[in-house]
Amino acid sequence: MARPVTRIEPEPSLHDEAARAAWLYYLGGMTQDQIATELGISRQRAQRLVSRAVTEGLIQVRLNHRIGLCVDLEARLTERFKLLRCRVAPSLGAADDAARTIAPSAAAELERFLRMSEPQIIAFGTGRALRAMAEQFNPTEAKHHRIVSLIGNIAPDGSATLYDVIRRVAEKLMAPYFPMPVPVISDTFEERAFYYHLRPVQAVVDLVARADVTFVGIGQMTDDAPLVLDGFVTRAEMAEFQRKGAAGEIASWVFDDAGRYIVSDRDGLVGAVRVEPGRAKPVIGVSAGPGKVRAIRGALVGRIINGLITDEATATAILAAD
């Protein structure tokens, strides 16, 4: 007689536990004490698992009711800077990750364009906030849209850039996407000119110019700026930009407090399409945090962006500075 086969259940992974805890918390309405009892763990571990599930995008939480203060800030920003689109998310406190805070609002804005029946060209910059947005939006079939990057995807050491956005968006949409197949920063002017003469690169540049909507991250120009940390600007170059009054950057192009692009020798090396001020179609900045206030305000003043998704603390600081 054949012996019965004993099935060995696999041990749940950390992601399994985090997803289950978040499900019980947000969908089951359980308290963290109840989750701890249900899963046989401590209350502290239950709390950490729920937090991990949200941080890693295992579960999506959205606020369907628009808070009055946020609506008021949206109206004031829209009127002051003549914005086409504006969304202000509630802040969660000084210790909160601002990129994660605004990701659901940014994802909802992206979904608005994805639902359009007319084919759209949707262009993306890069950065942590856009990457968080890409993780948050709901997958859907959108093969009639085209996804394009306005910045190169190759880091100085030859690796792919850390905060690639369009690949993740395209994966979730099953839509055609067009990366910018050049280094973010070329070694020489001749090298950059060579890349831009290639037909695939010219095709991407043309798509970006015709984009129906553009989503961009906005970087600060401080000593801890992403441009420095990721190796796209040297410490000496950053000091020179700061001397010239640099306030922020979009797609590696640096601008001052009035939103005017700063001329430098580096311009001939940048592998990205520059977003020119005053575009008629939506150019939506997705950015928040105390270190970003000056950069965001400069982009708004100079009309580099005509839309903004941020949080209430950042929105309040922008209006106060103005």
Tell me the mean pLDDT in the region 230-239.
Answer: 90
pLDDT number for residue 40: 86
**63 — pLDDT class (breaks 50, 70, 90):** low
- Residue 61: inside a domain, yes or no? no
Structural domain containing residue 252: 68-321
pLDDT number for residue 156: 66
- Residue 272: inside a domain, yes or no? yes
Q: Are residues 94 and 227 in the same domain?
A: yes
**319 — pLDDT class (breaks 50, 70, 90):** very high
- Residue 2: inside a domain, yes or no? no
**190 — pLDDT class (breaks 50, 70, 90):** very high
pLDDT number for residue 8: 42
- Residue 7: inside a domain, yes or no? no
pLDDT number for residue 171: 83
* Residue 57 predicted with pLDDT over 50: yes
pLDDT number for residue 9: 43
Q: Are residues 155 and 292 in the same domain?
A: yes
Higher pLDDT among residues 15 and 225, named by residue: 225
* Residue 166 predicted with pLDDT over 60: yes
pLDDT number for residue 175: 82
**What's 41's domain CATH number?**
1.10.10
pLDDT number for residue 271: 93
Tell me the mean pLDDT in the region 144-168.
Answer: 79
Show the 3-state SS of the chain: CCCCCCCCCCCCCHHHHHHHHHHHHHHCCCCHHHHHHHHCCCHHHHHHHHHHHHHCCCCCCCCCCCCHHHHHHHHHHHHHHCCCEEEEECCCCCCCCHHHHHHHHHHHHHHHHHCCCCCCEEEECCCHHHHHHHHHCCCCCCCCCEEEEEEEEECCCCCECCCCCHHHHHHHHCCCEEEEEEECECCCHHHHHHHHCCHHHHHHHHHHHCCCEEEECCEECCCCCHHHHCCCCCHHHHHHHHHCCEEEEECCEEEECCCCECCCHHHHHECECCCCCCCCCCEEEECCCHHHHHHHHHHHHCCCCCEEEEEHHHHHHHHHHC
Q: Residues 130, 134, 140, 146: is their CA dihedral positive or negative?
A: positive
- Residue 113: inside a domain, yes or no? yes
Q: Are residues 200 and 284 in the same domain?
A: yes
Q: Are residues 81 and 209 in the same domain?
A: yes
| pLDDT tens readout for residues 1-42 | 555 544 444 555 777 787 778 777 765 678 888 888 888 889
- Residue 60: inside a domain, yes or no? no
pLDDT number for residue 6: 46
- 7-21, 27-41, 141-155, 276-290: the lowest-pLDDT one: 7-21
* Residue 99 predicted with pLDDT over 90: no
**What's 164's domain CATH number?**
3.40.50.1360
Would you say the pTM of this structure is higher than 0.75?
yes
* Average pLDDT over the chain, rounded to an integer: 87
Percent of the chain residues past pLDDT 90, beyond the cut: 54
Q: Are residues 45 and 193 in the same domain?
A: no
- For the chain, the domain total comes to 2
Higher pLDDT among residues 114 and 53, named by residue: 114
